[in-house]
Chain A
Amino acid sequence: MRTISAAETAPATYAWAVHAEQLKVRAGRHLAVDGLDLRLRTGVHGLLGPNGAGKTTLMRALATVLKTAGGELTLLGEPVSGRGDLRRVRRELGYLPQDFGFYPRFTVREFVEYMAWLKEMPKASIPAAAQRAVERVGLTAKADAKMKTLSGGMVRRAGIAQAIVNDPQVLLLDEPTVGLDPEQRLDFRELLADIGVDSCVLVSTHLVEDVVAACTDVVLVNEGKLVFQGSPEALMAHGEQGDPGFSPAERGYSALLRRHRGGAA
């Protein structure tokens, strides 16, 4: 249980938690996100796309880590593409990078508490929030173990814990299921559904089955552009019997990609 502040129950003054218009972001010299339009509300959104589609670059731009090269990006009603102050938006963000480094000599608890402190949470609430986050990802037994002693899946879960420690309004998870075993993946889907009730969650993955099972909305990108956005059922409806793939969703995925590549060529 936690207390709910008046700010949380106040109606939002923006239509979309994440709103990108003609967004352009560079990865090095290459324009990895090139004129992408995206609108996301509360719920769990799955970000799909082939390797090199610009998923990670898009995630970094949404996490306000990378500067945008063009277009408009608005998070929680505040523009973040310019030079303005990012503090207010960043306090409401949770971000798990694809390959995230950590301080090997920190314990899981210290790591999560340090990130909570960097996210400018009130000092008095940090220990309880860190404990709750560690419990939610199922790492309670390892809370006081050093990060360097953890397995890959546990490190991943510690990363998820630091992302959710501040109860973010916008949660960005880049490949969170890598290294998790099948049982942990099921637990993780439950956690996602729980968080997605009142925040906007964007999960990037290349596992189509994960998206169908855990997401209320599918976002498909290719070559830095939005190809498709809709429910998992709508994704499946795009696939036909002859398309490659083992499930309706995979067939829908490959059919949409092929059509996009054909249209671009």
Chain B
Amino acid sequence: MTMHPDVAVLARYADGDPGLDEASVWSVESHLETCADCRARLAGQIPDDTRALLDVVGAAVGRGIEAGPAPARRRMAIRRRRLAVTPAPWLTMTAGVLGCAVLLHAIAPDLPSLVLLLAPVAPLPGVAASWNRRTDPAWELVAGTPSAGLGMLLRRTTAVLAVVIPLLALAGARTGAPLAMLLTPCLAFTAASIALGSLIGVRRAAAGLGTVWSVAVVAPSLATAQLPVVLTPGGAAAWAAAAVGMAGFAAARADLFRRLNSAD
């Protein structure tokens, strides 16, 4: 803070003395901005007519603020809008496939529940699309920013899950599939695609996991008309453990998501 101005200087400033040079006025004013004591001292020294003028101005400004328009509201946060843009077609597709699975269950109740069989891979198209060169037009701009990395991937994945999980719950309610057996494999596969994504890229990881699941589990169980062992109600704990393990692995490799090569 600057030195407190002399009382005499402050009095001359209050009177508007033209003999006070510009540099002194400037230094008094810059000091007044930061010093409440000197402002109080100045207030005690200003002549009555100046005080009356200040009161009139203050009242007029107050009236003007009250009569004027209300402060403009901030527009909707852009990032929320951004989240809704890219994976939308993929989420629509997921919703369509789940709808078909519910219909099929109603037509052929003898087959193992397709909703249960598809639940693990339901979020994968959306997850793959949410951080991908092909679906994010501005990937090169985004990849060079400090926000790029695991945090951004998780944020986008959460947005995908926020749509997919209610869809799964709805489909489960219609077909009577147990909720735990819908959600835990779904979370485990999401975490696995991110963990594997740190090695080969999220898109490839999601595609690979989806293919392996379809070939190794979905196709045989449809052929034999039996629900696979891994999807029987006792497996929920194992799926939950797998989800936590995969998430931990992904978090430990967070630095690999900062560049383009490993995250496309």
**Do B261 and A66 touch across chains, with their CB atoms under 8 A apart?**
yes
Instruction: Name A127's closest neighbour in chain B (CB-CB).
Output: B74
Does B79 sit at the interface, judged by CB under 8 A? yes
Task: Say whether B146 contacts A100, CB under 8 Å.
Answer: no
Measured CA separation A105–B138 after assembly (Å):
13
A106 to B261 CA separation, bound complex (whole angstroms): 27
Q: Within 8 Å CB of B81, what residues of A?
A: 110
Question: Quick one: which of B137, B145, B261 contacts A90, CB cutoff 8 A?
Answer: B145
Contact with A along B137-171 (1 / 0, CB 8 A): 11111111111100000000000000000000000
Q: Could you give, for residues 56-85 of chain A, a 1 whenever the CB lies within 8 Å of some chain B CB and a 0 otherwise?
A: 000010011111000000000000000111
Interface membership of B78, Cβ < 8 A: yes
> A92-116: which have CB < 8 Å to B?
93, 95, 97, 100-106, 110, 113-115
Q: How many A-B residue pairs have CB under 8 A?
A: 76
B85 at the interface (CB under 8 A from A): yes
In whole angstroms, how far apart are the Cα atoms of A63 and B141 in the complex? 10
Cβ contacts under 8 Å, B78 to chain A: 106, 110, 113-114, 117
A114 x B79 contact (CB < 8 A)? yes
Q: How far is the CB of A209 from chain B (nearest CB, A)?
A: 27
**Cβ–Cβ < 8 Å partners of B259 in chain A:** 64-67
Q: Is the Cβ of A100 less than 8 Å from the Cβ of B140?
A: yes
Find chain A residues with CB under 8 A from B139 CB.
101
Q: Is A119 engaged at the interface, CB distance under 8 Å to the other chain?
A: yes
B258 lies within 8 A of A86 (CB) = yes
How long is the Cα–Cα vector from A129 to B15 in the complex, in angstroms?
Answer: 41
Tell me if A90 and B144 are in contact (CB < 8 A): yes
Out of B140, B256, B258, name the residue touching A101 (CB < 8 Å): B140
Contact across chains for B138 and A102 when beta carbons are under 8 A apart:
yes
CB-CB under 8 A from A101, the residues of chain B are 136-141
| Pairwise interchain contact B140-A65, C-beta atoms closer than 8 A | yes
A26 to B256, CA, bound (A): 17
CB neighbours (8 Å) of B79 from chain A are 114, 117
In this assembly, does B82 line the interface, its C-beta being within 8 Å of a C-beta of chain A?
yes
In the assembled complex, which residues on chain A have CB atoms less than 8 Å from the CB atom of B138? Answer: 100-103
Contact (Cβ within 8 A) B147 A103: no
Instruction: List, in ascending order, chain B residues with CB within 8 A of A113's CB.
Output: 78
**Alpha-carbon distance A113/B77, docked complex (angstroms):** 10
The minimal Cβ–Cβ distance linking B242 to chain A, given in whole angstroms, is 27
Is A91's CB under 8 angstroms from B146's CB? yes
Contact A118 B142 (CB under 8 A): yes
Neighbour of A115 across the interface among B136, B141, B258, CB < 8 A: B141
User: Once bound together, how far apart are the Cα atoms of A64 and B85, in whole Å?
Assistant: 26
Closest to B143 in A: A65
**Are B141 and A162 within 8 A (Cβ)?**
yes
Interface residues of B in 111-149 (CB under 8 A from A): 136-148
**Inter-subunit contact A86/B146 (CB<8 Å):** yes
B17-67 CB contacts (< 8 Å) to partner A = none
* Given A65-B260, A66-B259, A103:B82 Cβ within 8 A: yes
Question: Does A2 sit within 8 A of B, measured CB to CB?
Answer: no
Nearest residue in A to B259 (C-beta to C-beta)?
Answer: A67
CB distance from A166 to the nearest CB of B (A): 9
By a CB distance below 8 angstroms, the chain B residues around A30 are: none
Alpha-carbon gap, A131 to B259, bound state (A)? 30
Kindly state the separation between the CA atoms of A102 and B138 in the bound complex, as whole angstroms. Answer: 5
A interface footprint on B199-228 (CB within 8 Å = 1, 0 otherwise) = 000000000000000000000000000000
Closest B residue to A83 by beta carbon equals: B255
Q: Which residues does B use to contact A, with CB under 8 Å? A: 78-79, 81-82, 85, 136-148, 255-256, 258-261
What are 6 contact pairs spanning A and B, CB under 8 A?
A100-B140, A102-B138, A102-B141, A103-B138, A117-B79, A120-B145
Closest 7 CB pairs of A and B: A101-B137, A118-B145, A90-B146, A87-B146, A97-B140, A63-B144, A118-B147
Interface residues of A (CB under 8 A from B): 60, 63-67, 83-88, 90-91, 93, 95, 97, 100-106, 110, 113-115, 117-120, 162
A101-B136, A101-B139 are known; give 18 further A-B pairs, CB within 8 A. Answer: A63-B144, A66-B261, A67-B260, A90-B144, A90-B148, A95-B141, A95-B144, A97-B141, A100-B141, A101-B140, A102-B141, A103-B138, A105-B85, A110-B78, A114-B79, A114-B82, A119-B145, A120-B147
